[in-house]
Structure 1
Amino acid sequence: MVHLITEFSKYLMIILFAVYTFYSYTVLKQKDGSDRAQLIYKRQTVCMFLLHLDAYAVIFANTGQIKMLVFYAAQTAFILFLFFIYKVLYKRSAKLIVNHMCMLMIIGFIILTRLNFESALRQFEIACVAAVLSIFVPFLIRKMKALRRFTWFYAVFGILVLGFVCLFGSTTYGAKLSIPIGSIAVQPSEFIKILFVFFAACMLYHVKDFKQVVITTVIAALHVMILVVSKDLGAALIFFVTYIVMLYVATRNPLYFFGGLGLGAGAALLAGKFFDHVKVRVSAWKDPFASIDGGGWQVAQSLFAIGTGGWAGMGLFQGMPESIPVRESDFVFAAISEEMGGVFALCIILVCFSCFLMTLNIAMQIRDQFYKLIALGLGTLYGFQVFLTIGGVIKCIPSTGVTLPFISYGGSSLLCTMILFAIIQGLYILRQDEGESDEKRKPAQKSKKKTATEKKHETDKTPGRKETPKDNRNDRHESDRRPGRKSRFDQEEIDEIW
């Protein structure tokens, strides 16, 4: 009976998630705030809660533990709280981004509960804290106009923190990533990514000369070099690509873009020669089965899991994701593919891409160059991190050891991503404010367009004033057209234009 429930539920989850993903793109054609868009958001929410209920019904059927139902109820309350907060405090927020954030977190809770209940519980606690800490971020982004004045604070603070981690941080899989604080380990590079985007935006939104570009590039290179020395090459690659994109958009100089890509390719070749763990990952990427007993074990098991799951998946608790190394963080996408199916995994990619598109849309429409660059930088951070994570799991690129935002286990990653999405919400509201101010200006501009001709007609119709006969007026018009003198008719046309 449990097997039948699991088998039926996996298809239901795929259908619900596919419908949700379909609405993610159809809503982009609708006008913001329209009745049709609101209806689509409601349908997305229904799909989200039904998928959540279906998954935890299967988890309870397989485990028989009441704590699973309690945990499900707590998650539902948390999601409803997020919806309520954004609806009350930020009525003009991007509902699609809120839906995506909640959906991806729900998927993370589901797969982590399946893999390790303690990790899922810990992730949920961090999510609650992150929601409280990020709740006022959109308001600060909207109201604080002095964010562009802290240029060197962003740079100096970021360099000092990354340097401290490089010297005194804890080593994980050969790289210095975190700093232990009590019973938790904080990964500062996750937060410095956001400060790095703000620094680059401050320096590049009013680029004046080549000297300023050089100074900005040197500071950015210092961030990247510290991460390289710490052997946190995944984060270093994210910093580097984000800066190259922001630099190109700010300067419109293709030489910087292609030159940066060439420099990055050369640095990657050097890293493959001087870092042993990079050599192992490159070798595993080329042929993971040749070194399946060594460095290729992770990628090989990931590919086995994805192939075993197929398009529909094995169903929750029907696969063997325990055989996947680092399954709760770096390779969580492989565990999802095995038990929830390739279609479900493909929908995750499409939802993440939808988030990236929303961020680019905000960046293109917002007028302030400073906020435009911030939106572009944050979108690049998010999109490229998703690409690195999934690309490493499916052997598209060498594994870089970065997490899948909102889904992978990791407190620093989850908190950082929630703050990132809160900043994007603030930028979206700023864009709405710009549109509203434009609408207010239009009536004022129209009222100023009352021409001198209209005023003249009004004056001519006043009581007691004798109008000039038509023929005489025409004669006067022709006489006024003498060389060197402007006619009254020409002056009226000028007034019309103004």
Structure 2
Amino acid sequence: MNRIKNLTVNKRRSQRKAVFLLLIFEFLSLSLALIYNIESIKATDFITYLALLVSTLLSTMLLGRISKSDGILLMIVNMLFSIGVALIYRLDPALGKRQLQYYLAGLVLFFITYFILKAYPSWHKLSKFYVGISVVLFVITLVFGSYLGGAKNWIFIGSISIQPSEFIKVPLAFFIASFYTHYNEYAKKPFGKYYMNLIIYVFIGFLFLQKDLGTALIFFGTMILSQFVYNKDRKLILVNMVAMVLGSIVAYFLFSHVRIRVATWRDPWSDIDVTGYQITQALFAMASGGLFGSGIGLGRPDFIPVAESDFIFSAICEEMGIFMGIAVVLLFMILVYRAIKISLIQKDKFYSILAFVIGILFALQTFIILGGVLKLIPLTGVTLPFISQGGSSMLAGFILLGCLQYCGEEIKYGDEIND
């Protein structure tokens, strides 16, 4: 009994130390950005800054009281956000302040998502609802969307911009989890085992119409990796991989912006002043930063177009160093590792699969954008989760994180679906 009590006390002490170190990290990172912009910031910036520190502390303490699940998830995301917002604030204080507001809204959505999942016990039965809401969002985007960066994936309402494809990742994860939870039931129906394939191909078809190939790649990858783990039909996986390759070839010939991105990936130096300017400046920035970086405010990440969004990793490496870039990659690896660990220890089949799919979504999105920035693959228009500037990505990420947080709980219902 004393041993269990001591373990509990030690766990609480470790959590307090982790929260304390996190607050110091956030304080230092944001203070550097504020000091650099001291002449242009206003009193409201300091209020928002204090709100961030207070909300981080309160959210971590509240989570420890209401959830018995993994308390590290939120702290990992807080660290990733702190690194990103420090650079965004340094590049543009107005964007930095807006990013802080997105973060606060994301925290609220994180807890709302957690409580909604806790309140309703039958999420595994709503596969048609997940498909329906996804299709509605796709149709709304096609009808009311605007082109930006070659893809029709943004909806503008006054000064507010929304990217629905970011939010569709949430019902996608739930749909895959629901399908494999009831896989034996689907398999008994004619062509039932291909139901998930058909639905996701419809989603990818919508993304092709929107020319949003980065998100299409994430959907394809999520489907294939889920099948690799939960489906014994290896031929189906091979067919999907071939379809992905053929789809990429078709997209190359159909869309001019894809051909430009591939040409830029192959040889950005041949047109360094126009199409290759962004990627070459990003490579120059990472090289000039070295191992320890030039220091916040001492580099020139403003030479990189859209540095606060698509190429924020390059800005981090330039001013904070390659070591900080490696730290960012390791934080994402820990986040994905914790998701897979939750999947392995969760006894409820639906939430086990959901945790795995969410981890895969985070992993694929991170790999695709980092691969593009490092010139390993052609650049796509996806964001770096919790770091890049953008409200849709931030809010959708926190919704998925809230789902993942609940997946780590000991589910006391739904035993009928575990056989």
Same fold (TM over 0.5): yes
**Per-residue Cα deviation, 1:352-373 (whole angstroms, up to 9, x for no partner):** 1100000011112212222222
Deviation at 1:147, TM superposition (A): 0.9
Q: Which has the larger radius of gyration?
A: 1
Equivalent in 104, 108, 113 of residue 89 of structure 2 = 113
Structure 2 partner of 1:363:
343
Amino acid corresponding to residue 205 of structure 2 in structure 1: M
Equivalent residues of 1:247, 1:257 under 8 A apart? yes
The answer for unaligned runs of 5 or more in structure 2 is 1-6
Q: How does 1:268-283 map to 2 (within 5 A)?
A: 268-283=248-263
Equivalent residues of 2:34, 2:90 under 8 A apart? no
2:187 maps to 1:203: no
Note closer, same or farther for the CA distance 1:256–1:42 as it changes in structure 2 (3 Å cut).
Answer: farther
Aligned counterparts of 1:412 and 1:169: Cα–Cα separation in 2: 14
2:284 maps to 1:304: yes
Amino acid corresponding to residue 197 of structure 1 in structure 2: A
Amino acid corresponding to residue 258 of structure 1 in structure 2: L
Structure 1 partner of 2:4:
none
Aligned counterparts of 1:340 and 1:143: Cα–Cα separation in 2: 43
Structure 2 partner of 1:176:
152
Structure 2 partner of 1:59:
33
Equivalent residues of 1:302, 1:334 under 8 A apart? yes
2:367 maps to 1:393: no
| Cα RMSD (Å) | 2.0
Q: Identity of aligned pairs, percent?
A: 31
TM-score where L is the length of structure 1: 0.77
Amino acid corresponding to residue 156 of structure 1 in structure 2: G
Structure 1 partner of 2:3:
none
Q: Which moved more, 1:323-332 or 1:134-143?
A: 134-143
Equivalent in 269, 284, 294 of residue 314 of structure 1 = 294
The alignment of Structure 1 onto Structure 2 pairs a total of residues equal to 401
**Per-residue Cα deviation, 1:210-251 (whole angstroms, up to 9, x for no partner):** 711222211110001100110111111111111122223222
Equivalent residues of 2:27, 2:53 under 8 A apart? no
Aligned counterparts of 1:417 and 1:56: Cα–Cα separation in 2: 21
Q: Which structure exhibits the higher relative contact order, with contacts defined as CA atoms closer than 8 Å and separated by 6 or more residues?
A: 2
- State the SS of the aligned residue for 2:183: coil
Note closer, same or farther for the CA distance 1:398–1:142 as it changes in structure 2 (3 Å cut).
Answer: same
Deviation at 1:60, TM superposition (A): 4.2
**Per-residue Cα deviation, 1:120-165 (whole angstroms, up to 9, x for no partner):** 1111112222222331322332342221222111112211211221
**Per-residue Cα deviation, 1:63-106 (whole angstroms, up to 9, x for no partner):** 3346454443222112112113212322x131111210211121
Note closer, same or farther for the CA distance 1:411–1:56 as it changes in structure 2 (3 Å cut).
Answer: closer
Aligned counterparts of 2:137 and 2:88: Cα–Cα separation in 1: 30
Amino acid corresponding to residue 139 of structure 1 in structure 2: F
Aligned counterparts of 2:92 and 2:351: Cα–Cα separation in 1: 40
Amino acid corresponding to residue 329 of structure 1 in structure 2: S
Aligned counterparts of 1:304 and 1:409: Cα–Cα separation in 2: 22
Q: How does 1:291-440 map to 2 (within 5 A)?
A: 291-430=271-410
Structure 2 partner of 1:189:
165
**Per-residue Cα deviation, 1:420-442 (whole angstroms, up to 9, x for no partner):** 111001000136x69xx9xxxxx
Amino acid corresponding to residue 49 of structure 2 in structure 1: Y
Aligned counterparts of 1:136 and 1:423: Cα–Cα separation in 2: 10
Structure 1 partner of 2:130:
154
Aligned structure 1 segments of 4 or more residues deviating by more than 6 angstroms: none
Q: Which moved more, 1:279-288 or 1:44-53?
A: 44-53
Structure 1 partner of 2:19:
45
Aligned counterparts of 2:266 and 2:94: Cα–Cα separation in 1: 35
Aligned counterparts of 1:429 and 1:183: Cα–Cα separation in 2: 39
2:242 maps to 1:262: yes
**Per-residue Cα deviation, 1:254-288 (whole angstroms, up to 9, x for no partner):** 22223322221121122112211111111111111
Structure 2 partner of 1:104:
80
- State the SS of the aligned residue for 1:190: helix
Aligned counterparts of 1:222 and 1:348: Cα–Cα separation in 2: 34
Amino acid corresponding to residue 116 of structure 2 in structure 1: L
- State the SS of the aligned residue for 2:137: helix
Note closer, same or farther for the CA distance 1:130–1:159 as it changes in structure 2 (3 Å cut).
Answer: same
Aligned counterparts of 2:277 and 2:49: Cα–Cα separation in 1: 34
Structure 2 partner of 1:78:
55
Deviation at 1:49, TM superposition (A): 2.2
